[in-house]
Amino acid sequence: RAQQLGGNQYEFYNPSLTAHAIADLNLETSLRYALERSEFLVYYQPQVELKTGKIAGAEALVRWQHPEKGLVSPGKFIPLAEEIGLIVPIGQWVLETACSQIQQWQARGLFEGRLAINLSIRQFNQPDLVPKLAEILETTGLEPSTLEIEVTESLLVQNIDNTIAKLKAIKALGMTIALDDFGTGYSSLSYLQQFPFDILKIDRCFVRNLPEDRKNAAIATAILQMAHGLNLKVVAEGVETYQELLFLYGQECDTLQGYLFSPPIATSEFETLLRTGKKLKLPETDDYLPSY
Ligand code: C2E
Ligand code: MG
Ligand code: MG
Ligand code: MG
């Protein structure tokens, strides 16, 4: 019997069985291995300046290249990674990978804009977050203003004083702070003036079907006016149609991000985009009809 057990143990480590065993592992276990197996990728989605139609930056969006499942989107594993704390090393990897890539593109004169990085609440609450951010600037030599940190409204419901102090420390490094998915969380509008944000990202649920969706049109218009009144720049997320672009252009939205210009794309594709100097086709004066 002991022999049998030993046999089983031997089998467990037998490389020919490893692939088999992995197939049976659940998401959590394979997620735990993904980092050391280099299965993550950073995709980049361009952000376009609406005044000029030029690429003004990129958001780094992680992907998981799963050996069997193929490309897994972050919506399928970030929540779990957050729950079990793996988001911290994954997030650090994304930060390092994207920063060194952007630094290379800058050094080759291909890229001038900003790099936006998403931070989950768990990453934000790491005691060494600010030193880690300072360290990445040091190791890559990136200008601090190149980095934009995206946080969500979930931050705003925890200890306010600590959160404000930390956001201020990040800003003191010279980075920009964006509030992601604006309008979908619990925050009250008064937070907008208390917290040191530079940018509001209108969630894509409010961009959908502009301007035919009258409720979205009212919300988007109100967000833009309020944000500009508070001296914040506005990024519209999830812009898919020319009609949406027209409306946002008319409302003087600052920046656009969405499939209309480009989905998130792999490093080599993004480099091609930079090389071709692709610009967003801006509305002609005749195109623009005020919707009110
Ligand atoms: P997010 O930060 O709000 O990112 C924008 C999401 O909208 C991306 O989904 C992007 O692919 C999608 N999107 C952009 N334009 C369009 C469009 O025109 N139409 C539609 N339907 N979707 C569009 P993605 O890449 O699946 O990421 C989902 C979320 O996962 C992100 O939402 C972010 O919250 C999280 N995430 C992604 N990468 C990271 C990361 O490195 N760290 C952390 N903490 N979270 C991340
Ligand atoms: Mg984001
Ligand atoms: Mg968002
Ligand atoms: Mg989101």
Of all protein residues, whose CA lies closest to atom 21 belonging to ligand 1? Answer: 238
Beta bridge partners of 40: 64
Cα→Cα distances 170→112, 174, 175, 217, 251, Å: 21, 7, 6, 33, 30
Q: Is 135 helix (H, G, I), strand (E, B) or coil?
A: helix
How far is the C-alpha of 44 from the C-alpha of 94, rounded, in Å?
11
Q: Which residue reads 């480099």 in tokens?
A: 271
DSSP assignment letter at 288: -
For 79, the token pair is 């929540």
Average pLDDT over residues 32-52: 96
Mutate which of 90, 101, 237, 256 for ligand 1? The one with the most ligand atoms within 8 Å of its CB, which is 237
Average pLDDT over residues 145-162: 93
Using pLDDT thresholds of 50, 70 and 90, give the confidence band for residue 188. Answer: confident
CB contact set of 180 (below 8 Å; sequence gap of 6+):
118, 150, 151, 152, 201
pLDDT of residue 11: 47
Mutate which of 31, 35, 47, 61 for ligand 1? The one with the most ligand atoms within 8 Å of its CB, which is 61
**pTM value > 0.80:** yes
How far is the C-alpha of 124 from the C-alpha of 159, rounded, in Å?
12
Q: Which residue reads 């001296």 in tokens?
A: 231
Q: 94 CB less than 6 Å from ligand 1?
A: yes
How far is the C-alpha of 59 from the C-alpha of 238, rounded, in Å?
12
Average pLDDT over residues 117-136: 97
From the number of C-beta atoms within 10 Å of its C-beta (0-12, 13-18, 19+), residue 171 rates as: middle
How far is the C-alpha of 162 from the C-alpha of 255, rounded, in Å?
30
Q: 259 CB less than 6 Å from ligand 1?
A: yes
For 151, the token pair is 């946080």
Q: 56 CB less than 6 Å from ligand 1?
A: no
More reliable by pLDDT, 189 or 209:
209
pLDDT of residue 156: 86
For 171, the token pair is 């800003």
pLDDT of residue 1: 40
Average pLDDT over residues 202-210: 97
- Window from 15-29, 142-156, 186-200, 218-232 with minimum mean pLDDT: 15-29
Mutate which of 78, 80, 136 for ligand 1? The one with the most ligand atoms within 8 Å of its CB, which is 78
Exposure of 48 in the CB half-sphere (CA atoms within 13 A): 28
Q: Taking 80 as the threshold, does the pLDDT of residue 265 lie above it?
A: yes
Q: 46 CB less than 6 Å from ligand 1?
A: no
Average confidence score pLDDT of the chain: 90
CB 171 within 8 A of CB 196: yes
CA of 106 to the centre of ligand 4 (A): 27
CB contact set of 74 (below 8 Å; sequence gap of 6+):
61, 62, 63, 64
Q: Tell me phi and psi for residue 291, to 5 degrees.
A: -100, 10
CB 67 within 8 A of CB 54: no
Cβ of 254: how many Cβ atoms within 10 Å?
A: 20
Average pLDDT over residues 209-234: 96
Q: Taking 60 as the threshold, does the pLDDT of residue 146 lie above it?
A: yes
pLDDT tens-place string over residues 130-145: 999 999 999 999 999 9
CA of 27 to the centre of ligand 3 (A): 24
Beta bridge partners of 234: 200
pLDDT of residue 16: 55
pLDDT of residue 6: 44
Atom of ligand 1 nearest to the CA of 62: 38
pLDDT tens-place string over residues 15-32: 555 554 444 457 888 999
Provide the ipTM: 0.98
CA of 40 to the centre of ligand 3 (A): 20
pLDDT of residue 4: 46
